[in-house]
Amino acid sequence: MAEMDDHHFETGDSGASQTFPMQCSALRKNGFVMLKGRPCKIVEMSTSKTGKHGHAKVHLVGIDIFTNKKYEDICPSTHNMDVPHVKREDYQLTDISDDGYLTLMSDNGEIREDLKLPEGDLGNSLRTDFDNGKDLLCTVLKSCGEECVIAIKTNTALDK
């Protein structure tokens, strides 16, 4: 038998794809799609019929779910487009650290402190509401290895 070599394997994910294919004609407004390699929410789409032997083309306009940048793409309706797996979770906000990281608690009591306070108006209102003693729920969107807080709401389901 050959001598056992000491192999070191990098840990990886389960190998599950971060996207799945869907025919262009099956995409719908308010759905998600990958445009220019970014996960986007479809805000506008139109189908144009081309000439005698041409394929119908779909014009997609989407907004990046993390950066709010606008992306556009045109593809034949019979072709497949990548659709990102988007996961949405609510967390209870328990603290905001001095360096701008959120301390969030999930429904099962797990604590996570790896998400930054969102930029702009959302981040400002989140900090203001938290400083005023409001109990807040943060909606976190996760897709393609990225996560961010996209919405906040006051937690009304508190045990009084």
Are the C-beta atoms of 60 and 72 separated by less than 8 Å? yes
Nearest-angstrom CA–CA distance, 59 and 24: 10
CA distance 153 to 91: 10
The residue behind tokens 């038998």 is 1
Residue by residue, pLDDT tens for the chain (160 residues) are 455 566 655 555 555 678 889 998 889 999 999 999 999 999 999 998 877 778 889 999 999 998 889 999 998 888 999 999 999 999 999 988 888 889 999 888 889 888 888 888 888 888 898 888 888 899 999 998 888 888 888 877 654 4
Q: What is the pTM of this model?
A: 0.75
Tokens of 75: 């593809």
Helix (H, G, I), strand (E, B) or coil at 130: helix
Domains within the chain, CATH numbers bracketed: 19-84 (2.30.30.30), 86-154 (2.40.50.140)
* DSSP per residue, 79-108: SEEEEE--EEEEEEEEEE-TTSEEEEE-TT
For position 10, what pLDDT does the model report?
55
At 60 the pLDDT is: 93
